[in-house]
Structure 1
Amino acid sequence: MKALKLIIQREYLTRIKKKSFLILTILMPAIFIGVIFLPIWLSGIKDSEAKHIAVIDPTGKYASHLQSSDEYKFDITDHNPGHLVSEGGSELYGILQVTDDLSVNPKAITFYSEKQAPIGLLSYINSTLSEVVKSEKLSTLSSRDNIDPKVLTEIREITQSRNNVSVTTMRWDENGAEKETSTAIASGIGGVITLLMYMFILMYGAMVMNGVVEEKSNRIVEVLISSVRPFDLMMGKIIGIGLVGLTQLLIWAVLLGVVSASAGTWLTSSGMSDAAPMLTNMELLFSVNWIEILICFLLFFVGGYLIYASIFAIIGAAVDNAQDTQQFVMPVTLIFIFALYVGIYSIQNPDGPLAFWCSLIPITSPIVMMVRIPFGVPLWQEVLSVAILYISIVLVVKFAAKIYRVGILMYGKKPSMKEIIKWFSYK
């Protein structure tokens, strides 16, 4: 037990004191925020000058409805496209030509440009002119059937208004008490937890494998085995590296809590006109049962990490160098990718049969169950999933320890899967 404690301490302190750990722990949240919000911010950056678009409309019905903005400037002209192209030069971005009555021929409109037209521009043109055609058809209907102008005005207002229906979701507990919830927030929490679970288990499990391979290739393990049991060496490395992962998660959780509390205080005191919806979303976010989520996250993270870290330790013990690990790592990675896809699917259908069964299978439950929990999972399913997971850990660790003790001292030969399984029977 003393040797196991020393190995855990060595593995933990060696990695926790590295500058790379401190840098990644601080920078990784910033990188995540940048990956999410940087594309949104860049997409909102507009050109410094408005793009000039010539509008040819012999019908005289549509061009005047296209309003210029900071991004696009619409100029009405009666020249033909060929003349505009030859005379417009680099100042002309595109030409919009209407050749017929759009209420009769909706396809009688063409946009010419040297570059591919942006989807935002086409969306604006389509929506604006569609409303014009709609109003034109209503006016024609009124004049033909003698509809009261007031009724026509009401019809036009109804057709042009946006009557967005928004469903408020409520959940009730066993006592019948109701609480407002948000499916979007539950989906977001499930998605973030899935990515964290996927990233950390795979990253730190691979770290175990690389550590074993490094010690084996440097022949350090021969010295260690002379004074430490192979089981203690394997479990010390797995537990020590796992504690590094939990430390990093704890630091992130504290940073997230500080940022969330600061954002809530700032929104409350800012008096912004759009702060109310954001505060409502934050209240819904805090209404989630975070205690249940955090407890389950720790249980499933530790369980999933122990299973996969044991498998990675077997792979590290079975090979002599990092290049030989690829053939063994690929099946494990494919299983993990499958679990990730099931987790993503479970966001859409958290109570479906695929989500249910994969939340009980130990190699997929750490990811899939954590997706389902924010949506609400019966307690018996959580308990059953955790029980199966930890029973499986005992079996996998026992299997890994027997193979590890043989493979850690094997050199010069790349074993097959059949030989690795055969090592399990050695005494």
Structure 2
Amino acid sequence: MRNIFLVIRREYMVRVKKRSFLIMTLLAPLLFVGFYAIVIWVAVGSVDTKTVQVLDESRLFTGKFKDSESMKFIYLESSIDSAKAGFRRSEANALVFIPKDIIKKPKSLRIYSAKNVSMDMKSEIEKVIEKEIEDIKLSEAGITHKILEDSRVNVSSETISLSEEGEKTSSSGAATVIGGICAFLIYMSVFIYGTQVMRGITEEKTSRIVEVIISSVKPFHLMLGKIIGVALVGLTQFVLWILLTASLTSAASAVMSSKMPKDPAQMAQEMQKVQNGMPNQGMPGGNVENPVAEVLGAVNSLNIPLIIGCFLFYYLGGYLLYSALFGAVGAAVDNDADTQQFMLPITLPIIFSFVFAQFVLRDPDGTLAFWTSIIPFTSPIIMMVRIPFGVPAWEIALSMVLLVLGFMGTTWLAARIYRVGILMYGKKVSYKELAKWIFYK
């Protein structure tokens, strides 16, 4: 055991002290928070106001186009030829021409501009005209627009879990997002840190350093120490990412909140603008719930301690299972180019797991979901997709036991290959040769 701890310490310290580890640990949260900060800044930042000239020959849309922060409308009283000539001399961004027969020929609308018109501008102009034409036709049929709006109802349901503990509000949306994020993190970590084990072993074998190490450490102890050492590096990086991201997000939120209006009346006015631009959510009086409170409520409806505990277990279990196989491949070959022929059987179950996860999200209690969350090669990803939706305790326990047994099996298999391949040089290895190594005494 002492030798294993020495190898773990060496693998951990060598990788943690690398400049690339420090850069990626610090840079990833900055890039993550910076990306969303830029998106939010662009979304809520100042928008250039576009000037739009409107020539309405039908006289039906006068005053229907309302000025906003993004667009300002100017109504013209002239012929289309004069309007075109004046538009070329003006600094307006677009000229909207509405002909007299717009009701009979709605496709006769014309928008002139010096450059291409943006989709937002085109959509907003068309939306105003469509709504007004719809009101006119409804009025002619004896139906007011208010009657039509009152007849439209958006149904919004609340999901509630019934269990022995009683009723508990649940959120399928939050479960889908959390399950997908956890599965993706495990999927990426298995690839990233598993290949680190493989390349580390290949480099030591190529440089002949391993010959010195093997003289004092058993091959199995060396392989196990490398696997656990890299796993600890991954956990360290994950923890630092979480802490740094949380700190940066809090700082960014504080900065953004300082930019928000402090006057309650002004804040209410801003919220009213947002609500006016949103569809009726089916709430009494058309009120819109607080989205922040809705998100927090959705997250609180999940069993967060269980999700975090299972994530750590399946992250370690999935990594240990696959990294043992990656380590065996690294010991069997002499360079990175030769690893490709042995990588496919290892990576296919990981890729299939990520593909199956898309179907499991649709039916988390189906037959496919059950069996793929039990089989050790797919359970780390699939079970993390299912857990936020609620999984019976016996299924989680069975999956965990089988994953531990799977790790022990792959470790034994990898050790049999590792003990022979680590000192094998200059020979092209085939699957038949690997099978012989497994049964060597």
User: TM-score, normalising length from structure 1?
Assistant: 0.84
Q: Bigger shift: 78-87 or 387-396?
A: 78-87
Q: Bigger shift: 276-285 or 315-324?
A: 276-285
213, 217, 235: which one pairs with 1:224? 213
Superposition pairs of residues 39-118 of structure 1, within 5 angstroms? 39-43=39-43, 45=45, 47-48=47-48, 50-62=49-61, 64-77=63-76, 78-80=78-80, 84=84, 88=88, 91-99=91-99, 101-113=101-113, 115-118=115-118
Matched, 1:359 2:358: no
Number of residues paired by the alignment?
A: 412
The answer to whether the 8 Å contact 1:311/1:400 transfers is yes
What is the deviation of 1:57? 2.9
Tell me: CA distance 1:112–1:241, structure 2 relative to 1, closer, same or farther (3 Å).
same
Partners of 2:202 and 2:181 in 1: CA distance: 31
Match of 1:181 in 2: 170
Partners of 1:85 and 1:212 in 2: CA distance: 75
Superposition pairs of residues 140-179 of structure 1, within 5 angstroms? 140-142=140-142, 152=144, 154-155=146-147, 158=150, 163-175=153-165, 177-179=166-168
Match of 2:396 in 1: 382
Tell me: CA distance 1:167–1:317, structure 2 relative to 1, closer, same or farther (3 Å).
same
The answer to whether the 8 Å contact 2:376/2:403 transfers is yes
What is the deviation of 1:417? 2.9
Tell me: CA distance 1:314–1:38, structure 2 relative to 1, closer, same or farther (3 Å).
farther
Match of 1:212 in 2: 201
What is the deviation of 1:360? 1.9
Tell me: CA distance 1:393–1:96, structure 2 relative to 1, closer, same or farther (3 Å).
same
Tell me: CA distance 1:154–1:333, structure 2 relative to 1, closer, same or farther (3 Å).
same
Q: Bigger shift: 279-288 or 189-198?
A: 279-288
What is the deviation of 1:402? 0.8
Partners of 1:336 and 1:380 in 2: CA distance: 24
The answer to whether the 8 Å contact 2:99/2:109 transfers is yes
Deviations 1:200-240 (A, max 9, x none): 22111111111111111111011111221111111110011
Partners of 1:342 and 1:116 in 2: CA distance: 43
Partners of 2:372 and 2:202 in 1: CA distance: 32
Partners of 1:133 and 1:343 in 2: CA distance: 47
The answer to whether the 8 Å contact 1:135/1:156 transfers is no
Tell me: CA distance 1:157–1:7, structure 2 relative to 1, closer, same or farther (3 Å).
closer
- Partner of 1:359, secondary structure, is helix
**Which amino acid in 1 is paired with 2:26?**
I
The answer to whether the 8 Å contact 1:15/1:244 transfers is yes
400, 409, 421: which one pairs with 2:414? 400
Q: Bigger shift: 63-72 or 186-195?
A: 63-72
- Partner of 2:117, secondary structure, is coil
Match of 1:297 in 2: 311
Partners of 1:98 and 1:61 in 2: CA distance: 9
**Which amino acid in 2 is paired with 1:410?**
M
- Partner of 1:55, secondary structure, is strand
Superposition pairs of residues 328-343 of structure 1, within 5 angstroms? 328-343=342-357
Match of 2:232 in 1: 243
Partners of 2:293 and 2:58 in 1: CA distance: 50
Partners of 1:370 and 1:164 in 2: CA distance: 33
Partners of 2:183 and 2:67 in 1: CA distance: 45
Partners of 1:138 and 1:332 in 2: CA distance: 64
- Partner of 2:126, secondary structure, is helix
Match of 1:121 in 2: 121
Percent identity, aligned pairs only, is 42
The answer to whether the 8 Å contact 1:339/1:367 transfers is yes
Tell me: CA distance 1:314–1:322, structure 2 relative to 1, closer, same or farther (3 Å).
same
Tell me: CA distance 1:339–1:100, structure 2 relative to 1, closer, same or farther (3 Å).
farther
Partners of 1:135 and 1:22 in 2: CA distance: 62
Partners of 2:18 and 2:323 in 1: CA distance: 21
Match of 2:181 in 1: 192
The answer to whether the 8 Å contact 1:198/1:336 transfers is yes
Match of 2:18 in 1: 18
Tell me: CA distance 1:43–1:417, structure 2 relative to 1, closer, same or farther (3 Å).
farther
**Which amino acid in 2 is paired with 1:228?**
V
What is the deviation of 1:292? 1.1
What is the deviation of 1:23? 3.6
**Which amino acid in 1 is paired with 2:319?**
Y
**Aligned-residue RMSD, C-alpha:** 3.2
What is the deviation of 1:369? 0.9
The answer to whether the 8 Å contact 2:55/2:83 transfers is no
Q: Bigger shift: 347-356 or 240-249?
A: 347-356
What is the deviation of 1:253? 4.4
- Unpaired runs of at least 5, structure 1: none
Partners of 1:346 and 1:85 in 2: CA distance: 61
Match of 2:130 in 1: 130
**Which amino acid in 2 is paired with 1:417?**
Y
- Partner of 2:106, secondary structure, is coil
What is the deviation of 1:87? 5.4
Partners of 2:360 and 2:116 in 1: CA distance: 38
**Which amino acid in 2 is paired with 1:167?**
S
Match of 2:278 in 1: none
The answer to whether the 8 Å contact 1:47/1:71 transfers is yes
Partners of 2:316 and 2:350 in 1: CA distance: 16
Match of 1:9 in 2: 9
Partners of 1:237 and 1:62 in 2: CA distance: 74
Tell me: CA distance 1:43–1:153, structure 2 relative to 1, closer, same or farther (3 Å).
closer
The answer to whether the 8 Å contact 2:97/2:109 transfers is yes
The answer to whether the 8 Å contact 1:46/1:71 transfers is no
